[in-house]
Amino acid sequence: MGAVDDYFGTLDATTRSLFERIRQLVMEVVPAAEQETSYGMAALKYKQRPLLGFRVAKQHLSIFPFSPATVDAVRGHLPDFDLSKGTIRFTADNPLSDDVVREIARHRVAKIERH
């Protein structure tokens, strides 16, 4: 097991299911992604660079694409979501769409490949 599996194992069933779906979609786009930690959170990495982090807060769930440019790239698809420079917040009642998750993964990989 890796850091992401360990973290997901601590979550309630609904949250775990939502995060598992996001991980599954990211792994479809980036099969070489690995489970690690980054900036103190469970994360997927690609080529030893942070790809996507996961975190639960009291009022929401968050993913961290580790790139303000990636958040900006999907901002137009997320009008009802709480976004910050490097964070996308959502809830079980308003989860991220599969297409947006795939777009986040593709954008992040392209950014990693350029560096």
Could you count the other beta carbons within 10 Å of the beta carbon of residue 82? 14
What percent of the chain is predicted at pLDDT more than 70? 99
Token pair of 29 as six digits: 């786009």
Cα–Cα distance list, 75 to 5, 55, 61, 85 (Å): 28, 19, 17, 11
Whether the predicted pLDDT of 16 surpasses 90 = yes
Which pTM value belongs to this model? Answer: 0.94
Contact 81, 89 (CB under 8 A): yes
Which among 51, 5, 2, 48 is positioned nearest to 26, based on CA atoms? 51
30-68 pLDDT, tens digit per residue, is: 999 999 988 889 999 999 999 999 999 999 999 999 999
